[in-house]
Amino acid sequence: MTHRFLLLSTAVLAVAGSPALADMNFNRVASFPVARNAPDAEETSSEIIAATADGMTLVYTDSLGETLGFIDIADPANPVAGGALELDGEPTSVAVIGQTAYVGINTSADYVNTSGHLQVVDVASHDTLANCDLGGQPDSVAAAPDASFIAVAIENERNEDLGDGRVGQMPAGYVVILPLAEGMPQCDEAIFADVTGLAEIAPEDPEPEFVSINAENEIVLTMQENNHMVILSAAGEVLNHFSAGAVDLEGIDTREEGALVFTDSQPGRLREPDSVTWIDADHFAIANEGDMDGGSRGWTIFNQDGTEVYESGTSFEQALIQIGHYPEQRSGNKGVEPESVTFGVFDGTPLLFVGSERGSVVGVYDVTDPATPALLQLLPSGIGPEGYVVIPERGLLVSANEEDLGLDGGARSHVMIFERQNADAVYPHLTSAGMDELTGWGALSGLANDPETGLIYAVNDSFYAMQPTIFVIDPSMDGPSQIVDAIRVTRGGQPAQLLDMEGITLDGEGGFWIASEGRTDRLVPHALYHVGADGEIEDYVTLPAELQAVERRFGFEGITMVGDTLWMAVQREWADDPAHQAKLVSYNTLTRDWGAVRYELTTPDYGWVGLSEIEAHGDYVYLIERDNQLGELARTKLVTRVAIADLQPAPLGGDLPVVPHEMVVDLMPYMASTGGFVVDKVEGLTIMEDGTMWIVTDNDGVDDSSGETMFFSIPPM
């Protein structure tokens, strides 16, 4: 068997588990928390993003802060805060020509009294150069490639709390076309293009969503709620219009029941596109996010004459499913919700970038032939990616991620920078793409390995409460490590419920022992489960009275076997533990005796520190010790070890000895090695026969998470 190691140098870390070397690949080189531009703000956001002509400065809208943000990317791997400009309303979109930014600002008092303007800003000085009244609420701004005009989609969006949230609701939307003279908008020459009476759905109330302009100065417009496409001339003349149409969806998940089951269908699903981009003078692509009645979970290429050239169907969503990025809690709505499409030509290759808002991934497609796009890569794009910009001259792709989960340990809004390199593609680390059936996965929390086969076993946690599964991973594959089997954990032949599988170890007889973390407040017990090779629960062991009397929510997070004794790591202090001490609990499978020792945790700078895994190897048990922080607040992500000779369990209910331990690996450099922010949940560890460590992170089922799963190896120490 060959192993791929995570290599550490003084300059860079590259995570193992990447695809074979291709000619060129995008890899993330930096993640910039936009809070650096607003250090006093409780919440920030980066939504629509653009770049100056020289590709050295990024400009993004922050609607929450009512600011326009700037980032210096002269060194793309080390972005620098460029400050923020306070605005008099909510910025909704921005386009840049040269060093001048054109910002659409919504100042509407309500859904009826709509207003907004276009503010022109010098990027270098942050000075305002001009303002043009738009007469309504802007939603998208685009610049003509020849810099002759600006187009603004005026949505005048509906009130979702009125009339069952349906269109029409007045006032109607329209498109504003502003001629430019030496970069300045000629406000008194503005063209207000009427697009009423075109759509089959609410023709009296068009809601323009997104605009893009081709090299012939033709404007393509999506009207999402109206499910309609419009082509306009630079003079505002309607050149063509047609329905965005519908898609028959098969093999999808439409139920949010804590399981990944892709057997449902939705016939005639309206596309209801959000963003749009030209890919040449005749063809454009749309992201079919959906709104009132639709969302086809994919994207489409049209000819501007209305001919459908390519439809992705469910292929884009399925690609995200296979890399663990499917958002189960959006199954009943719109699945992965493609929201963004962006186009650029890199070294002569036309590339389309399709962003999934809920899956937090951007797909990279070669659209040399618009009828047969080829998916090249899937890149992790942060939480809730909203907008992208390409800088082909510098080989850069940039994403703006709007979600900000606050100051209390949540992920902040980030701008992420990807560079096209002659190098391996770093992501994804793990895939189920080679399996016979479409297999979703996520929320991996515990690992074990079989020394005879070299295979690794991983369990998912309670996020998939209706589908507890042991995943079988082949880590020796070229490219990402491969999930080769999914063993469903059952009780009486039915999916086992009330399990929160946090640890797994082999029983030495072909089966497994699984540690399930409990929630007594939800009538879920802490327990050990003996599981056969087929996944059927053969026996279970509940906690003794001494532990039940002191247990808390944060329970068993790992399990390993030393001789006939199981050792479980308790994540945090229980009622009888001193501060910053957690138990290592033992259970002898022959005598059924329980015991414990204590482990002294690192005192946290923020939040808490606990144990996430335990694994026996050689003369030691190895543990993962981590804090619950991510990004710039993350401090403690460690592999430590305790000598087995020191694991002398004391009887429960009395004084417990504190065992000495030592640090083996600081995981922080590894966690930061993919250019993203450090994630909090490093949860699984297993050690191969030769001493190679494999580590996995828990992606929380893509719920309030970037969805990224890191699965990487560390060479023998």
Number of H helices, E strands in the chain: 3, 55
Which of the four pLDDT bands, split at 50, 70 and 90, describes residue 6?
A: very low
Evaluate whether 414 touches 398 at the Cβ level (below 8 Å).
no
Residue 523, pLDDT score: 66
What number of CA atoms fall less than 13 Å from residue 204's CA on the CB side?
6
Residue 405, pLDDT score: 74
Which of the four pLDDT bands, split at 50, 70 and 90, describes residue 275?
A: very high
What number of CA atoms fall less than 13 Å from residue 156's CA on the CB side?
24
Neighbours of 607 (CB within 10 A): 17
Across residues 573-588, what is the average pLDDT? 97
Residue 18, pLDDT score: 39
- In tens, the pLDDT along 322-364 reads 999 999 999 999 999 999 999 999 999 999 999 999 999 999 9
CA–CA distance, 451 with 512 (Å, rounded to integer): 14
- In tens, the pLDDT along 242-269 reads 999 999 999 999 999 999 999 999 999 9
Task: Identify the CATH number of the domain defined by range 431-714.
Answer: 2.115.10
What is the sign of the dihedral through the CA atoms of 56, 61, 65 and 68?
Answer: positive
Residue 411, pLDDT score: 78
Q: What is the residue whose two structure tokens read 């100051």?
A: 407
CA–CA distance, 642 with 621 (Å, rounded to integer): 5
> Residue 517 corresponds to which tokens in the numbers above?
């973390």
Residue 646 is classified by DSSP as: G
CA–CA distance, 114 with 155 (Å, rounded to integer): 10
Amino acid at 373: P
Bridge partners of 43, per DSSP, are: none
Residue 293, pLDDT score: 85
211: CB partners within 8 A, 6+ apart: 140, 141, 142, 151, 152, 153, 175, 219, 220, 221, 276
Residue 477, pLDDT score: 85
Q: Is the pLDDT of residue 542 over 90?
A: yes
Q: What is the pTM of this model?
A: 0.95
Neighbours of 473 (CB within 10 A): 25
Residues in the chain: 717
Phi-psi region of 702 (alpha: psi -120 to 50; beta: other; left: phi over 0): left
- Single out the residue of 104, 156, 157, 112 nearest to residue 133, CA to CA: 104
Q: Is the pLDDT of residue 3 over 80?
A: no
CA angle 509, 512, 517 (to 5 degrees): 155
More confident residue, 623 or 704: 623
> Residue 507 corresponds to which tokens in the numbers above?
């029983």
Q: Is the pLDDT of residue 428 over 50?
A: yes
Percent of the chain exceeding pLDDT 70 equals 96
For residue 265, give the H/E element and its range.
strand 264-270
> Exposure pattern of 174-184 as b/e (b: 16+ CB <10 Å)?
bbbbbbbeeee
Average pLDDT, the chain: 94
Which of the four pLDDT bands, split at 50, 70 and 90, describes residue 39?
A: confident
> Residue 441 corresponds to which tokens in the numbers above?
């996965």
- In tens, the pLDDT along 434-462 reads 999 999 999 999 999 999 999 999 999 99
Across residues 381-395, what is the average pLDDT? 95
